[in-house]
A and B are shown apart, each in its own frame.
Chain A
Amino acid sequence: MLKPPLEIELKLGVPAEAIERIGEDDTLHREADGPGDRQTLDATYFDTADRSLSRRGIALRVRREGSRTIQTIKADARNLGGLTARAEWQWPIRRRSPDLGVIDIAEAQAALDDIEESALAPYYATKVQRRLLTVVHRSSRIEVAIDQGAVIAGRRRQPITEVELELVEGREVDLYDLALALADRYPLTLEPRSKAARGAALADGLTPAAAFRKPASLERGMAVDDLIAWIMSDCLAHFTENVAAARDGRDVEGVHQARVALRRLRSAFAQLKDFLRGPAVDQIKSQARTLASALGPARDLDVFATETLPPLRHFTLRPALDALERRAEAARGEAYDTVRQVLGGPEAARFALLLGYWIADRTWRLDVRPARLAAPVEETAAGVLSKRFTKLKRVGRNFEAMSTEQRHAVRIELKKLRYAVDFFGGLFPGKARGRFAKRLKALQDDLGFLQDAAVTGHLLDRLDDGGADPAFAEGRGLVEGWLAHRLATANEGVVADWRALAKATPFWHD
């Protein structure tokens, strides 16, 4: 084994025109311990015909490094808040195709247990010109790899221009500091997908997958300090893991989940506001808000196309619906241009790096007494949940008689409670939590529909050109009538769901 099994690295995209300049950066070279190496890295990734390795999150690579051939196995990345840490093992081998006989690590053997060497075939390849510098930055030693090349699958090629920072020794926070220093000078972008992930997607024509989050599994007795780091890292990872899918746009869940991640983040700041304040927090929050609103129009149009319109297809007024759909599609194209511009731009990268820095630095420790941060989370969690539930019931008093507009205020409180339950619920296991969460979700679905209906109204206003197209006007009437009908018939169920939640037993008192 040639390398320690865990690598902590940050990867960022570099615009093609800046890749040469970053490799020659004066300041970066002053931190380097020499002129650096230039390497030609030609790697072929192998898998079985049914992609057994890929499906279990393993990459098997054979790479020429000068006169040597190195076989590498990478296990699935654990995402640590924008940083990736993954298990990686390497062995020198004497041929160009995988040699499973050399594997002498039990963990790696187990992972490849049922794989026949003869069943492995080339899957995709990467050809990279790497400029490698080892720099000393603040109190850390960091390897900076500036990569230019392509990922290749059959006749398909995709260019690679990116920079990878890997912590050799020292502190995670220095890794972020160096990345931010570089981002000050070059328009770096988020490129969280590994070359392997990009290769596999290219080879199999896969759509980048959206990433979902399970409710947090926190441990009782965990310190508030670690809770903050855990939740914020989770939100950051959730965001960055959806950037590729959101930019791609074929899976509508990409933009949706990226937005959810940003909303969860802002909600986490709100829930933990007793611990989190100061200029860095303000900046992160405001950047999150800006990013979320840039994704808003695309999400609204996705909902319109995938949820609002399909049930209306049961009617026969095809031309009217087609007119609506055409206009919505055009607007959606523009909205996704914005998404690509924003998520593929330097602002999103700076946001993620700043948040990563803040987490790694645990900057909040400057403002909060250590005893409060060392306290176990249960008390804080129960306090937040109680506060949210009480506030929800207060805002929702007299719910039965409320107008749709008034119920929006309830919906917002409900969402806050929902995120609090997602974040902290795991601390209070038991049936009561499941029951509570179920009632919560039922009401959230009801009120979410109110919101979708309101958003659809605004959306139609924007798409409308003032009645010049009679087919569009007809389609609009159809949608509005349908929504009005659903709102009217839904009311009884909404009220029942509200009553059920309002009298639910809090699960956090144990």
Chain B
Amino acid sequence: MRTILVANIKGGCGKTTIATHLAAEAAGRGLKVLLADVDRQRSSLGWLRARPRGVATIAGVDWVKEIGKAPKSVDRLIIDAPAAMKMKQVEILVRAADIIVLPVLPSAFDEAATGRFLSRIEELKPIRKARTAVLVVGNRMRVRTRAAARLDRFLGGQGHTVAARLRDSAVYTDLAADGTSLFDLHTKRIEGLKEDWRPLLDAIEIAA
């Protein structure tokens, strides 16, 4: 089983979009996926409830009160971490993770918060020994490329690179409401958006 932790300290950065997309993509390839929601808002579980019949099956579990254990039969565990995590929680979740995916919005305030978060998790052993991959994802990249360049500079300074850049699109809002993801749809219109995810998906497979 591979465990992917989707985390950030600042809310509204697209944690749930990323967690649900990673879950749907893996499930679409026939993997047995468990989506664990630790965020009090429980938006990943809300998305699962809205999920229609006929799309790849994903199991969900509520870990808000207590972080549990995934059954052995699970191929991929995806954890939607809470915003504003307590250090104790961070430690447990980071230690459990093989891969940490960190969505960041193009904003210096979000970068500053992400920087604090990165230095906190880097103090934890498994990452220092480079056993755990940290993949930073630029989310909602829209207004000019200058913001993207700034994000690169910032992450470069932290010893990281951007694993993928996801465009801002209203499609994500509709998908969230429908309980689906780009990977559940097969229309031409969204091909470009799907392409945005490729580098992240590749990076996950390499790290896994």
**A positions within 8 Å CB-CB of B:** 27-28, 30-31, 33, 136-141, 169-170, 173, 177-178, 181, 278-280, 361, 363, 365-370
Select which of B41, B108, B150 is within 8 A of A367 by beta carbon: B41
Q: At the interface, yes or no: B68 with Cβ under 8 Å from chain A?
A: no
Q: Is the CB of B107 within 8 A of A31?
A: yes
Q: A169 touching B12 by the CB < 8 A rule?
A: no
Q: How far is the CA of A278 from the CA of B46 in the complex (A)?
A: 12
Asked if B144 and A136 make an inter-chain contact with CB atoms under 8 angstroms apart, the answer reads: yes
Given contacts A170-B143, A361-B12, A366-B16, contact A278 B42 (CB under 8 A): yes
Q: Is the CB of A138 within 8 A of B41?
A: no
30 A-B residue contacts at CB 8 Å? A27-B109, A30-B111, A30-B150, A31-B108, A31-B109, A136-B144, A136-B147, A137-B109, A138-B140, A139-B105, A139-B140, A139-B141, A139-B143, A139-B168, A140-B143, A170-B143, A177-B12, A177-B107, A181-B107, A181-B109, A278-B40, A280-B41, A365-B177, A366-B16, A366-B41, A366-B43, A366-B176, A369-B49, A369-B50, A370-B177
Considering only CB atoms and an 8 Å cut-off, how many residues of chain B contact the other chain? 29
- Let me know if B41 and A137 touch, CB within 8 A: no
| Chain B contacts for A370, CB-based, 8 A | 50, 177-178
Residues in B whose Cβ lies below 8 Å from that of A28: 108
B60 interfacial contact with A, CB 8 Å: no
CA A141 to CA B41, docked complex, whole Å = 28
Which residues of A lie under 8 Å from residue B177 when comparing CB positions? 365, 370
Give per-residue flags for B92-114: 1 if the beta carbon is below 8 A from chain A beta carbons, else 0: 00000000000001111111100
Residues in chain A near residue B41, CB distance under 8 A: 278-280, 363, 366-367
| Contacts known (A27-B112, A138-B140, A141-B143); A366 close to B46, Cβ less than 8 A | yes
- Say whether B142 faces chain A, with CB atoms less than 8 Å apart: yes
Which of A139, A177, A181 interacts with B142 by CB under 8 Å? A139
Complex CA gap A237/B141 in Å reads 32
Complex Cα gap A91–B16 (Å) = 47
Given A136-B144, A137-B107, output 7 extra A-B contacts at Cβ < 8 Å: A27-B112, A30-B111, A138-B140, A178-B107, A178-B109, A278-B41, A366-B16
- Whether, in the assembled complex, B146 has its beta carbon less than 8 Å from a beta carbon of chain A, the answer is yes
- CB interface residues, B 120-146, toward A, < 8 Å: 140-144, 146
Q: Which of B40, B110, B146 contacts A138 (CB 8 A)?
A: B110
| Given A278-B42, A279-B41, A369-B50, CB of A136 within 8 Å of CB of B110 | no
Tell me if B146 and A136 are in contact (CB < 8 A): yes
B105 touches A138 (CB 8 A): yes
